[in-house]
Amino acid sequence: MKFRHTALDGVILVEPTVHGDDRGFFLETYHLEKYSRGGIAEAFVQDNHSRSKRGTLRGLHAQRLNPQGKLVRAVEGEIFDVAVDVRRGSPTFGQWVGEMLTAENFHQLFVPAGFIHGFCVLSESAQVEYKCTALYDQDDEFSVAWNDPDIGIDWPVDTPLLSARDSSAQRLLDLEELLPIFGESE
């Protein structure tokens, strides 16, 4: 199992060890001690599962008062998964990283609290599972526009399928009062 730290401190790509033979495969998708040694020591309290069709873009989302860290993986299909640092005062504020997560590569992306998260579906459909470090609270959630020019994410889709909420999301700089302060969410 490999843990690759990305250009954004705290965002970690997990490359699990996959044991395969002519019967199929086996892998650990989470192991408390191994993940802690790899830099992911948070406790997970909720698991989520979504299914989306090609071109769907979910995000960019976060919670304000009760931020969630997320450990994301694609169990079917292929997604481009993105984390953006939105911690006011962070040296990497507004910067993003993106990783391809597929059912074939088994990779996971850990997005810590204090980051917004989103993904787009590149395959015909995709099923995504993710573990969360805090419970979901709809009233605490905020969204940032997927195409915010101040962030400049290089999404591999031009005209994504969006929810009504994501279609009307604001730019990051218009949401400053909702953003966590660097050092408080760690």
CATH code, domain with 18: 2.60.120.10
- Identify whether the C-beta of residue 53 lies closer than 8 Å to the C-beta of residue 161: yes
Number of structural domains found in the chain: 1
**The pLDDT of residue 184:** 66
**The pLDDT of residue 15:** 97
Mean pLDDT calculated for residue range 16-40: 95
The residues facing 88 across adjacent strands are: 181
Mean pLDDT calculated for residue range 76-85: 98
Q: Residues in the chain, how many?
A: 186
Show the tokens assigned to 150.
């101040």
Selection from 90, 89, 66, 75 nearest residue 10 by Cα: 90
Tell whether the model's pLDDT for residue 110 goes beyond 90: yes
Share of the chain above pLDDT 70, in %: 98
Structure pTM? 0.95
**The pLDDT of residue 176:** 87
Residue pLDDT, tens place only, 122-164: 999 999 999 999 999 999 999 999 999 999 999 999 999 999 9
Q: Would 185 be classed as within a structural domain?
A: no
pLDDT-derived band at 118 (thresholds 50, 70, 90) equals: very high
Tell whether the model's pLDDT for residue 56 goes beyond 90: yes
Q: Is 54 exposed, middle or buried (0-12, 13-18, 19+ CB in 10 A)?
A: middle
Q: Would 16 be classed as within a structural domain?
A: yes
Residue 36 is part of which domain span?
2-178
Q: Which residues are catalytic?
A: 61, 130
Q: Would 102 be classed as within a structural domain?
A: yes
- Eight-class DSSP state of 171: P
Q: Would 22 be classed as within a structural domain?
A: yes
* Mean pLDDT rounded to a whole number for the chain: 95
Q: Would 83 be classed as within a structural domain?
A: yes
Extended strands (E) in the chain: 2-5, 12-15, 19-21, 24-26, 46-53, 57-63, 70-76, 78-85, 96-102, 108-111, 115-121, 125-132, 141-143
pLDDT-derived band at 182 (thresholds 50, 70, 90) equals: confident
**The pLDDT of residue 139:** 93
